[in-house]
Structure 1
Amino acid sequence: MRKILCCISIVCYFVLAKAPIEPSFSLHNHEIQEPPALPQVYGMVLPDTINYFSQSHKKQEFNAFLPEFPMIMQVCAITETPVYYYPNREELLNGCYRGDKGLSFFELQPYQYWQTLKALQEVQLIPQIANHNVIRILINYKYAYSDQITTTIEIGDSNYPATSIVINGQTFHNNYDVVSAFYGLIKGIQEEAYPRDTAMY
């Protein structure tokens, strides 16, 4: 009896069993559905990315008057009638170190010069052929923890027509805004240091 029941159950299993489901990749057996529409954005013009990347974009130029990181500004300037003639920036800087008459020397923190020179952020200088520059103001930017100079700026004496602005060896035409800003900066520092003796330039 037990064997008969086993045989009947086996037969029923094979009769009721279905064929395994096989994946069908036929396009005719499945309904093709379109993806949902993307949300529409009104009042916004999307950029033409193809034309954007095909154009050459000018990189932002480094502004030498305002350093990228906080630095010490070393100022060596002719503020009165000098006793000696200084043919280059090395001689002028040595004269400031010696304390020659007619020269002024300052080392300024960022908070002392930043506000005054902030107006020079948009100044565009015009390149010029290098010539002999009669230096009136010499600016050196350096790190606070070392004597390494990162940027050197020479402001030519505006009393001489051939003078120029030299930044790290590159020569530019004199610019009124630049000259006025540095003259004003030095005058302001002198007024703070020597309030009774402000005669300059």
Structure 2
Amino acid sequence: ELERRMWRDRMLLRRLKEQNKGKEGVVDNAKQRQSQEQARRKKMSRAQDGILKYMLKMMEVCKAQGFVYGIIPENGKPVSGASDNLRAWWKEKVRFDRNGPAAIAKYQADHSAPGKSEDCCTMASTPHTLQELQDTTLGSLLSALMQHCDPPQRRFPLEKGVAPPWWPNGDEEWWAQLGLPKDQGPPPYKKPHDLKKA
């Protein structure tokens, strides 16, 4: 709890310093890119804290035996975590820091169509992978991700039923890939944990 409070205070101090810098003068492109990078890192840090919080909650409430997770950002060092009982195995045997990026590179090489740029990797299996997850797992993922949407979810209270612009409306390109009929309509705007797969 104390570490979390200290982290929040550091983030608040950093945010206040950034605001003061913004008031002092016009920010040139290099500084703007740097602040965007800092904002991205901050979002990543918050997301990681959220994941860790939910993992620990699952261990306490749901009596999970252990957990591991890993995140490989677009550029930068992989971030991972594990419960105490799996940490040594995760770091020494799995070696996610080294093997994770290598596995992604191999997957992208194996699944990219010839003639396409390396940046464009096929996402055809993603909808089917998500369909295989349990509703509770998907709900937890959505809850964690919704905290980082822009505009923020708090501006669109669930009680009012008015969905934010980033909520799916059924016209998205990926919607057809799910194989859902057009007349089914978008998912209702409610708590992620209350949503069920069709």
Q: TM-score range by the shorter chain?
A: under 0.3
Higher Cα Rg, which structure: 1
Structure ranking higher in strand proportion = 1
* Higher fraction of helix: 2
* TM value normalised by structure 1: 0.18
Instruction: Give the TM-score taking structure 2 as reference length.
Output: 0.19
